[in-house]
Amino acid sequence: MFLLRVGTLLVLATLVPLEQGFYVPGVAPVDFKVGDVIDVK
C-alpha cells in the first residue's frame, strides 16, 4: 500500500510541470506573442 502511494505521488510529481497553461471559465483561450498589446477589461 505504501509503495502504491509513493508511486502515485512520483507519477503526479512528474506530470505537474508539464501543465503550463491555465483556464479561466468563460474566456476563450488565446495565444499571445511577445510585444502583443493585451486589452484588460
* CA 21/CA 18 separation, integer angstroms: 9
Q: How many CB atoms lie within 10 A of CB 8?
A: 10
Give the lowest-confidence range in 4-8, 17-21, 37-41.
17-21
Q: What is the pLDDT of residues 7-22, one digit of tens each?
A: 898 887 776 665 566 6
Q: Return the pLDDT at 18.
A: 58
Q: Return the pLDDT at 26.
A: 80
CB 29 within 8 A of CB 23: yes
The torsion region of residue 8 among left (phi > 0), alpha (psi -120 to 50) and beta comes to: alpha
Does the pTM surpass 0.85? The reply is no
